[in-house]
Chain A
């Protein structure tokens, strides 16, 4: 087990900057998810940890060692690849035992070790099959077994579940979570699926255009997104963002937007000294409910879509003509047949404020 540290790491491919000034640390025993849309630099970041890419600038540390220019095999890492990278000409036993083979372990011992790990991952009965003869989920576990067969300081995962179908992905996710709790490994896990990151991570690094925009525990990211980008990326469906005209009058913050009726708010300390101008108001779909008539805080619009998901229903309205949609997540039992004008109510404490640059305006007590 060991920690991983990035010191001001920049990686350029020709004229393209994949990551810029990355500065973060993965603690010993942590499970960190690098989360972001495709092209945000998360896989490049992981590959620099693995030693498959070399930073253009900056340093990478594993434990107490500067590994910036150290070969992958000397870093004490294991890695699970997105395409699993199983060798099609080797039986599962040989695939799993390959890291032991290159270390010169004799065949009976390394096969015994492969059997032990495979049993833990419940693929022990498949060891004499070839990769083409097993299912996608089993292939995924095989590649996991190959990563786990040698004790490593850090385990790296490059979107390991993205090639599985939805149900298998949930299974595998639960299994990974269990494994992490069981073994207490240090892991860095790349994904574009925010639900996966929320479920697995002890901390999430949300990345956008080569930078980390927020690095915090999942609940913190969910409850206090640092930017509108994070607010929009984490959560399913994402947070509703409403552009609003803001002014301070009589020591209170007034927000105005089409369809929005909001009682004046206390002025956050951060806004006390500057004129707010435009602000972005955020509210999560699960914090919206159908408004009681005459509620002080409400948003009105016309019904756009009504998607029944079983236990809950996603109700989407448009506040203005065509644009500016807003989605609420409502228990199906509480959702009557809707049509025409719809009003959502919410509590002021569930509001998020972002300034004109999209940065969070801290609420009082944050």
Chain B
């Protein structure tokens, strides 16, 4: 097949060079740099700052050292915490809630639907810092909106950030990300011919039957895509730091925050890099699984 192009190869190369240099400098070089650093004992200060030594797998062995693996503040603790975080805030929170909302949106009048979409999108496009501050203000013990509301109806106030830090970040991340799942499922439902649901209506199907028998099976591909994407995002999300800074203690130190602490607070670059590499491998596994699933469902055409 003949290929048509707007530009000569030389002009094309000239246009792509700046972007290529940037990607090289800020993505590709750090990628290999991190792998290299993870095999050294490099630190920010002291003797090993300038002359790091090659330490082999020492950093990795330390991460996975069996007798402290699950202690608070250790890699294993953060890994388990992150898995719980993903389970509750991504799968149960964002995906399930997003699905429920998307399905409900199919059966409400158009103006209600449009308004809900606008509000939800609003939550989705706000900058992280703004949201972090808003939630901080919402949950604050003394002047927080939530406690103010509880006072108003005569319920006891709570020190949410101190007493329930894990559930705070779960609710926060659910609130933050449900919009994405909802919009994705919403447009997936919208792509199903309306006559499918009308035929089911005439046949006498309830809303739940329509969801189970028609809606869900026909958007299965979108559900898989969504689950994998939000799992990866939640796995790497750093925003909970704005609320709890990983604390109190290490109670909300998910992997991204753990990595940050090791590398940029303890200044143990070597160990931090090793964590980064492990997280990268986990993400790679997710990505490969995603590509495999995506490829598997394309030839059938029944997305």
Using a CB–CB distance below 8 Å, which chain A residues touch chain B? Answer: 50-52, 71-73, 77-79, 81-83, 85, 87-89, 98-99, 101-103, 146, 150
How many residues of chain B have a CB within 8 Å of chain A?
18
- Give the complex CA separation of A89 and B303 in angstroms: 10
B196 touches A103 (CB 8 A): no
A98 touches B200 (CB 8 A): yes
B205 touches A85 (CB 8 A): no
B198 touches A85 (CB 8 A): yes
Contact of B204 among A50, A87, A103 (CB under 8 A): A103
Instruction: Kindly report which residue of chain B lies nearest to residue A103, judged by CB atoms.
Output: B204
- Give the complex CA separation of A83 and B202 in angstroms: 15
Q: Which residues of A contact B142 (CB under 8 A)?
A: none
Closest CB of chain A to B166's CB: distance in Å?
39
Q: Which residues of A contact B213 (CB under 8 A)?
A: 87, 98, 101-102
Taking A88-B218, A98-B213, A102-B206 as contacts, is the C-beta distance between A71 and B201 under 8 angstroms?
yes
- Give the complex CA separation of A103 and B200 in angstroms: 11
Instruction: Kindly report which residue of chain A lies nearest to residue B203, judged by CB atoms.
Output: A99
Taking A98-B213, A102-B209 as contacts, is the C-beta distance between A85 and B201 under 8 angstroms?
no
Instruction: Tell me whether B195 is interfacial, beta carbon within 8 Å.
Output: yes
Q: Which residues of B contact A98 (CB under 8 A)?
A: 200, 203, 205, 213
Taking A88-B302, A98-B213, A102-B209 as contacts, is the C-beta distance between A77 and B195 under 8 angstroms?
no
Q: List 8 A-B contacts (CB under 8 A).
A: A52-B201, A78-B202, A79-B202, A81-B199, A83-B193, A87-B214, A102-B213, A146-B203
B203 touches A85 (CB 8 A): no
Taking A89-B217, A98-B213 as contacts, is the C-beta distance between A73 and B199 under 8 angstroms?
no
B200 touches A77 (CB 8 A): no
- Give the complex CA separation of A20 and B195 in angstroms: 25
Contact of A73 among B201, B214, B302 (CB under 8 A): B201
User: How would residues 164 to 205 of chain B score, 1 for a CB under 8 Å from any chain A CB and 0 otherwise?
Assistant: 000000000000000000000000000001011011111111
Instruction: Kindly report which residue of chain B lies nearest to residue A75, judged by CB atoms.
Output: B202
Sorted from nearest, which 9 A-B pairs have the closest CB atoms?
A73-B204, A99-B203, A85-B195, A85-B199, A102-B205, A81-B195, A72-B201, A79-B202, A72-B202
